[in-house]
Every structure is written in structure tokens, then in C-alpha cells.
């Protein structure tokens, strides 16, 4: 069973591995929170919810990727 999982994981490209993609998704969530809290630009505030949503959905999807 472990060999089958290792063989399956090795077919994924390196840029689609969980660690790097989770970091990008968490950075998007953090950027959205910063955009939500800043008092300077209404445009950044307007797109903050969308940024947080994209980061959260990305994190949920990426959490199913192999290591």
C-alpha cells in the first residue's frame, strides 16, 4: 500500500506539492486579512473578502495534494 502511494505521489510535479502550495494559500489569506484591516484604500478593502475566499478555497484543495 505504501509503495502505491509513493509511486502515485512521485507522478505529481514538484511545484504541485503540498508544502509550497499551502504556503502560497496561507500567504493569500494573510494578505486578505491585511487588506481588510488597512485604513487607506477602499479598493483594497473591497477585494479583501475575495482574496481571503480564494486563499481559503486554495488551502482546502491543496490540503489533499501529496507531500
11-59 pLDDT, tens digit per residue, is: 777 777 788 899 999 999 999 999 999 999 999 999 999 999 999 999 9
> Using 50, 70 and 90 to split pLDDT, how confident is the model at 6?
low
Residue 27 cell numbers, joined: 500567504
Taking residue 46's Cβ as centre, other Cβ atoms within 10 Å add up to 10
Integer angstrom CA distances of residue 9 from 1, 14, 20, 35, 58: 12, 10, 15, 36, 19
Instruction: Give the chain's end-to-end CA distance (angstroms, integer).
Output: 16
Burial 9-19 (b: 16+ CB within 10 A, else e): eeeeeeeeeee
Residue 9 cell numbers, joined: 505521489
Amino acid at each position: 500500500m505504501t509503495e502505491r502511494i509513493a509511486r502515485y505521489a512521485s507522478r505529481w510535479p514538484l511545484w504541485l506539492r503540498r508544502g509550497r502550495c499551502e504556503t502560497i494559500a496561507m500567504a493569500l489569506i494573510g494578505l486578505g486579512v491585511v487588506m481588510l484591516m488597512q485604513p487607506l484604500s477602499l479598493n483594497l478593502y473591497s477585494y479583501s473578502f475575495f482574496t481571503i475566499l480564494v486563499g481559503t478555497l486554495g488551502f482546502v484543495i491543496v490540503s489533499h495534494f501529496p507531500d
